[in-house]
Each structure stands twice: as C-alpha cells, then as structure tokens.
Amino acid sequence: MNSWIRQVRILDPLTQRDQIGDVLIRDGTIQAIDHALDVSGADIREFDGQGCVLAPGLVDLYSQTGEPGHESRETLAQLLTAAAQGGFTRVVFLPNTIPAVDTPAQVVQRLTANQPNQPQFLPWGAITQGTEGKRLTDLIELGSTGIVGFCDGQPLANSLMVQRLLDYTQSLTLPVAMWPCDLNQTGICRDGADAIRLGLSSLPVTSETAPLTALLEEIATSLRPVHLMRISTARSVDLIRSAKARGLPVTASVTWLHLLFSTADLDKYDPSLRLAPPLGTPEDQTALIDGLEDGTLDAIAVDHCVHTYEEKAVPFGIAPPGAAGLQLALPLLWQTFVTPKRWSPLQLWTYLSLRPAQCLNIEPASVQLNTAANLVLFDPHDAWTVTTDSLGCDVINTPYADQTIWGKTKHMWVSAINN
C-alpha cells in the first residue's frame, strides 16, 4: 500500500526541515515531498495531515521487556503495541531478560522476532554473563551478531572490570552504555528537603556522582566512547558538562520521567513514581532540562519498565522501581514543553529521534527523497484518557492513570533495520 499524506507539518531534525506540505510514500520509500502533490491511483491511501506532524520514527535508547522471563509483566506483543502507540519505530531493549541476551543465539532469536512494518526491537548485548556483573560475555563475538551495543542495564560494581571492558572494546565501534550508580548506598528518595518531609529514606547525590566521576576518569584514560545512561542529578550534569568540555568521548541521556517529575511530586506516595535512579529534587529536575537544552545531555530515553499489579500494589518504599512510558512519553513531553513553547517541535524530535540514533551509532531516520520511510504521523491535539483499555495492557503502571492527555500517533511507516 502506498501513502499520500496531505497538508501535514513535516519535521526533520536531521535537515532542520519544518514546513507544511504533502508527502508521497511508494513501496516504503519517500518518493515525493512538496507544498502540494496531485496523486492519483487506486493503491493510494490518503491521510489528512492537517493539524498533525509527520516526522522520523522515535528511537528509544533503553527499555525493558518482560518477555522472555516475566511475561506476566508484559509480553513482546504488548510492548509492540506500546511502541506503536507512542510513535517509536525502534526500541532498544535491555538484555536483563530471562535468559539474558548474552550469547549470539539469544541475539538471533530476538532479532528474528521482528516483523515488517512494525516497530523494530533491537537488543543491547549484555556486558556480563546473565547481567550479573561477575564475568564478561564474549564481547567480540556478541558484537558481530546484530546487537546495538553493550549494556547491562545494571551498574558495574567492579571498577577493574569497567577498566578492562573499556580497554577490550576499543577495537569495536559499537557503543557501550553505562549506568553510574553505587548500589551500596541505599535510599528510595533523592536526598533533600522533600525526602525529610515525606519520611522517605534519602539516597545521597554521591550514589550517582562518585561512580560517574570514577567512570569519567576511566574514559579519560582509555578514550573509549561511552554513553552515560539514567543521569538524574544536577551535579552529574555539571560533571558531564566539564567532561565534554575536556573533549571526553561521552554522550548522555535522561529519562522522560526525570524531566517531568521531581521529589516534590511524591506527596501521594504513588508507587508508579518509584524509579531507579529515584526522581531528582526540583533543582535536579531544572538542571536536567537545562542540560538537555544546552547539549550536555544528548537524548531522552523512556526506560519503559512494567510490573504486575501485585508487584506495584505495595507501599512506595518497597515497590519495585519502574514505570510504563513508551505510549506516553511523546504526548506528555509535547504537552509539557512544546505546547507552552519552551521547546520547538523540532527540538523535541531531536531529543527523541535524531540524538538517540546518534548515541547508538545507527543511521538516523529522515524525511528526505528516496530514503526509506521510517515515519510517524502524530496528532498533538487528539485527547484520550489513560486506562488499561486505551493502553492495550493488563496493568496501568503510570502516574498518569485515569488522566486525560493530548497527543496520539495516527500511523507509522517502518523500514527494515539497517544498523
């Protein structure tokens, strides 16, 4: 089926295009872009794009899938629905499934599950066997199987292993993503006045900044590029800003919920806001937004992580960390930053599509003639209520439950993976 999208706002962060026009997609390739097209033929599906945005499909840097191992949380089919609803054409998932993505066979199995014209799931390959942080995987072999890069999704506690990892993978161009976090420091709420007021145990800022500093020193020694994931404090933003100014080869990401919430939002003790790392203080939140805007932080990640009702129907302090996000990140970030004109639509698309692709060293999708159509048609004005039915899942693992939000993906065109 060919598509003719009429009078749509075309956004392309790669070429900085932002214009109203028509787009024609034939056989999965963008064949024409113009102010207005005159297209005829029986095999053309016409889309009225007025009020909508047509832009490259979004790329999620890291999310978690329940399948295999925890299908009661979320199946791959449900994750697929979530990604499609949210405008994500490519989702890179963390390897901490059961079994973990730590061997070529596991990688092949995951890649062959992808279907044409549906969001593509790409695996991070595990750094350590079983993502247990004890022994390195066969990194070179694993790196040749189609993984996007190496990441455990867990902090690496062993500093010698970090050093060896960065040295050993210097010959590989695949990215390495690391989460700076000291698991020995306990606490469920970022240290500050809110943690004290709410009676939640405090997690010091140094639980992130101390391992980040050590990691930056290792990177300065090896000069091996690293992506720093789940950055959540103001001080970390400062450290990364200095590191980039020194020319260290780092990129960094923040999750969408850390941009939208802070410890000041924990008054209701909503277990959906129990995250790892925990939400920052209001000062952290401001610094994360500023860091994204000044380029210190490169991209926004979703870090989608669904738990069962039973797992989350517990007090805040003992709830497992994580929340759903793939369906919600785009509409809520648009609503919060684009609608009040703090960000341009191109800016948001840069953070959610172009930069994540660049952090992953994969070819960014673009709205250009004769390129594969990897596109999303998004209506930022379409209102809907967040329920299990509208999300198409069994549980509602989000602070936005039962709220009406604006912004819906109308259609997506997905090209084959080419990384």
Partner 1 sequence: MADNTWSRRHIISLEDFTTNDYQTILQTATSFREVLSRRTKKVPALQGQVITNLFFEPSTRTRSSFELAAKRLSADILNFSPSNSSLKKGETILDTAKTYLAMGTNLMVIRHQQAGVPTIIAQEMDRINSGVGILNAGDGQHAHPSQALLDLFTICSSLDKTNPNISLLKGKKVVIVGDILHSRVARSNIWSLTTCGADVHLVAPPTLLPKHFLEAFSQPPKTGKTDESMGNLYLHWQLAPALENADFVMALRLQHERMSEHLLPSLREYHQQFGITRERLNACKPTVKIMHPGPTNRGVELTSDLMDDPHLSLVPMQVTSGVATRMALLYLIGGMQ
Residue 185 DSSP SS3: coil
Please report whether residue 183 would count as binding partner 1 according to CB under 8 A: no
Site size for partner 1 (CB under 8 A): 22
Please report whether residue 369 would count as binding partner 1 according to CB under 8 A: no
- Between 217 and 270, name the residue whose CB sits nearer to partner 1: 270
- Between 224 and 307, name the residue whose CB sits nearer to partner 1: 307
Q: How far apart are the first and last CA of the chain?
A: 25
- Between 140 and 313, name the residue whose CB sits nearer to partner 1: 313
How buried is 168 (Cβ within 10 angstroms: 0-12 exposed, 13-18 middle, 19+ buried)?
middle
Q: How far is the CB of 181 from partner 1 (least distance, A)?
A: 20
Cβ 219 vs Cβ 166: under 8 Å: yes
Which stretch in 17-25, 188-196, 211-219, 296-304 sits in contact with partner 1 by CB under 8 A?
A: 188-196
Work out which of 15, 159, 171, 201 binds partner 1, going by CB under 8 A. 201
- Between 39 and 198, name the residue whose CB sits nearer to partner 1: 198
Which of 12, 152, 303, 379 is an active site residue? 303
Please report whether residue 196 would count as binding partner 1 according to CB under 8 A: yes
The C-alpha atoms of residue 232 and residue 187 are separated, in whole angstroms, by 15
Work out which of 105, 140, 193, 223 binds partner 1, going by CB under 8 A. 193
In which residue are the tokens 């005829």 written?
40
Summary count for the chain: helices (H), strands (E):
14, 17
Please report whether residue 385 would count as binding partner 1 according to CB under 8 A: no
Please report whether residue 184 would count as binding partner 1 according to CB under 8 A: no
The C-alpha atoms of residue 370 and residue 354 are separated, in whole angstroms, by 19
What is the distance, to the nearest Å, from the Cα of residue 120 to the centroid of all Cα atoms in its chain?
Answer: 14
Is 294 an annotated catalytic residue? Answer: no
The binding track of 290-329 with respect to partner 1, each residue x by CB under 8 A or -, is: --------------------x--xxxxxx-----------
Q: How far is the CB of 42 from partner 1 (least distance, A)?
A: 52
**DSSP notation for 26-49:** ETTEEEEEESS-----TTEEEEE-
Q: Which 236-275 positions form the footprint of partner 1 (CB under 8 A)?
A: 267-269
- Between 197 and 342, name the residue whose CB sits nearer to partner 1: 197
Cβ 236 vs Cβ 227: under 8 Å: no
- Between 167 and 267, name the residue whose CB sits nearer to partner 1: 267
Cβ 207 vs Cβ 191: under 8 Å: no
> ∠ CA(157), CA(175), CA(116), 5° rounding?
120
Please report whether residue 202 would count as binding partner 1 according to CB under 8 A: yes
Tokens of 17: 């295009």
- Burial profile 64-74: b = 16 or more Cβ within 10 angstroms, e = fewer: bbbbbebebbb
In which residue are the tokens 């639980």 written?
207
Q: How far is the CB of 199 from partner 1 (least distance, A)?
A: 3
Please report whether residue 192 would count as binding partner 1 according to CB under 8 A: yes
Q: How far is the CB of 273 from partner 1 (least distance, A)?
A: 11
> ∠ CA(18), CA(20), CA(21), 5° rounding?
120
Residues that bind partner 1 (CB under 8 A): 191-202, 267-269, 310, 313-318
Catalytic residue numbers, as ranges: 303
